[in-house]
Amino acid sequence: MRVKEGNTILEVPEGSLESRDPSDSSVFYNPLMESNRDISVAVVSTLQKSRNRKLEFIDVHSATGARGVRIANEIDNIKVILNDWSKEAQEYIKKNTNLNSVDVDIKNRKANTILSDNKFDLIDLDPFGSPVPFLDSAFRSINHKGIISLTATDTALLCGAQVKPCIRRYTARPLRTPYHKEIGSRILIGKCIRIGAQYDKAIQPLLTYYKNHYFRVYFSVVEGAHKSNTLIDKIGFLYHCFGCGKRNLRLGLTPEKGKGIYTCRCGESFKVAGPLYTGKLGNKNFLEKVLNEIKDIRLKTREEDIELISKIIKEVDMPPFFYDIHKFCKLLSITAPKNKEILKMLREKGFYAVESHYEPTGIKTNASLEDFKGVLFELARNKNSKSA
């Protein structure tokens, strides 16, 4: 069967539009990831326009070749390598390159082998599950000032539902807080930064987001021990109190020890997550260019992509982690106000406040926990006095 993404026609396995289970087909195509691929096209196009030479892009886990064929078809001056270990995938890749009359280099090798034997400007890792088994090879393979993009679908681990598997795979403890999705993304980034540091490479996040039960991160990779040290210095631990909702961040590669460190003022014990990345999850200047690129491209998912990237741009300069309105209102036994009411009052009080893309009820702000709770109480009182 055939589908259209962007300006590209793709041959995909029968039943792909109904199935979300990779085991249903020897070659998996997920229509829900079309937006993921749209953003990839915009990111690669943005990077290409900033360089004065032909860039080399590899899709390490190509499957039907959807991402790489689109990049070859929709962006000029890109050399595209499509790799997949599956022989069946090779046939779909060949069909799709022929359908779109694009010139790509098709490989049938194990992911780590092809990465270990070559250097690339852009590397995309989109395995089924965790990207961790491929990170070491990818960071050794990427050129200076290159970009690595990766997808992680092992969200149960990163979001705290499976603690020990997360510790094994990411060398970090997750935590099932109301903002566990952001914790998961920061654990993933922290792992990448630590692996890149082994090779004196600074792994700087350009774009980070969570959508449709997967994490997606784009990294700029720059060589240099000093720059790598700067990012290592942004690794730390989160201390969260489930009693009152307070959260603290402590920098360092080991948790702090000492009397009172793990006890909140409310009397409850802090729970610890990490090590995780505490810095910015994206680069605002780069994201604005990507947003303009998306606006210039005719895409089926254009409006949702614009909404997503626009939210992320507003979040980039905000402090780590967000407040979940419904969770706090339940904790405080009050009726939850609307997002826009909270945002308006926070801004009137002089705070920065934006919605978070991680949760529809998530608010990112530089207001303290006490100030945030105060706004919720004030809005609840105002509502009660009006109804009375």
CATH assignment at residue 115: 3.40.50.150
Query: pLDDT of 329-380, one tens digit each?
Result: 999 999 999 999 999 999 999 999 999 999 999 999 999 999 999 999 999 9
Residue 84 confidence (pLDDT): 96
Question: Is residue 17 one of the residues assigned to a domain?
Answer: yes
Q: For a pLDDT cut of 70, what percent of the chain falls above it?
A: 95
Query: pLDDT of 79-133, one tens digit each?
Result: 999 999 999 999 999 999 999 999 999 999 999 999 999 999 999 999 989 999 9
Burial class (CB in 10 A: 0-12, 13-18, 19+), 311: middle
Domain span holding position 355? 323-387
Specify whether 81 is located in the same domain as 61: yes
Residue 18 confidence (pLDDT): 62
Specify whether 31 is located in the same domain as 104: yes
Supply 118's token pair. Answer: 């070559």
Residue 381 confidence (pLDDT): 87
Specify whether 335 is located in the same domain as 308: no
CATH assignment at residue 339: 3.30.56.70
Cβ pair 293, 282 in contact under 8 A: no
Task: List CB contacts of 165: < 8 A, sequence separation 6 or more.
Answer: 157
Specify whether 185 is located in the same domain as 143: yes
Residue 22 confidence (pLDDT): 54
Q: Tell whether omega for the bond before 275 is within 30 degrees of 0, i.e. cis.
A: yes
Specify whether 21 is located in the same domain as 168: yes
Selected residue with higher pLDDT from 54 and 388: 54
Complete edge-to-edge strand list for the sheet that includes strand 105-107: 105-107, 78-83, 55-59, 120-125, 142-152, 214-223, 201-211
Residue 25 confidence (pLDDT): 59
The domain total for the chain is 2
Question: Is residue 169 one of the residues assigned to a domain?
Answer: yes
List the helix and strand counts (H, then E) for the chain. 14, 15
Give backbone dihedrals phi and psi of 18, rounded to 5 degrees, phi first: -100, -30
Query: pLDDT of 218-233, one tens digit each?
Result: 999 999 999 999 999 9
Question: Is residue 153 one of the residues assigned to a domain?
Answer: yes
Cβ pair 10, 66 in contact under 8 A: yes
- The whole-number average pLDDT for the span 59-68 is 97
Q: For a pLDDT cut of 90, what percent of the chain falls above it?
A: 85
Specify whether 331 is located in the same domain as 223: no
Q: Which of 5-19, 133-147, 296-310, 373-387 has the highest mean pLDDT?
A: 133-147
Question: Is residue 382 one of the residues assigned to a domain?
Answer: yes
- The whole-number average pLDDT for the span 298-313 is 86
- Indicate if the pLDDT at residue 19 is higher than 60: no
Specify whether 79 is located in the same domain as 173: yes
Task: List CB contacts of 54: < 8 A, sequence separation 6 or more.
Answer: 77, 78, 79
- The whole-number average pLDDT for the span 262-277 is 95
Question: Is residue 199 one of the residues assigned to a domain?
Answer: yes
Strand partners, 4: 9
Specify whether 172 is located in the same domain as 301: yes
Specify whether 229 is located in the same domain as 342: no
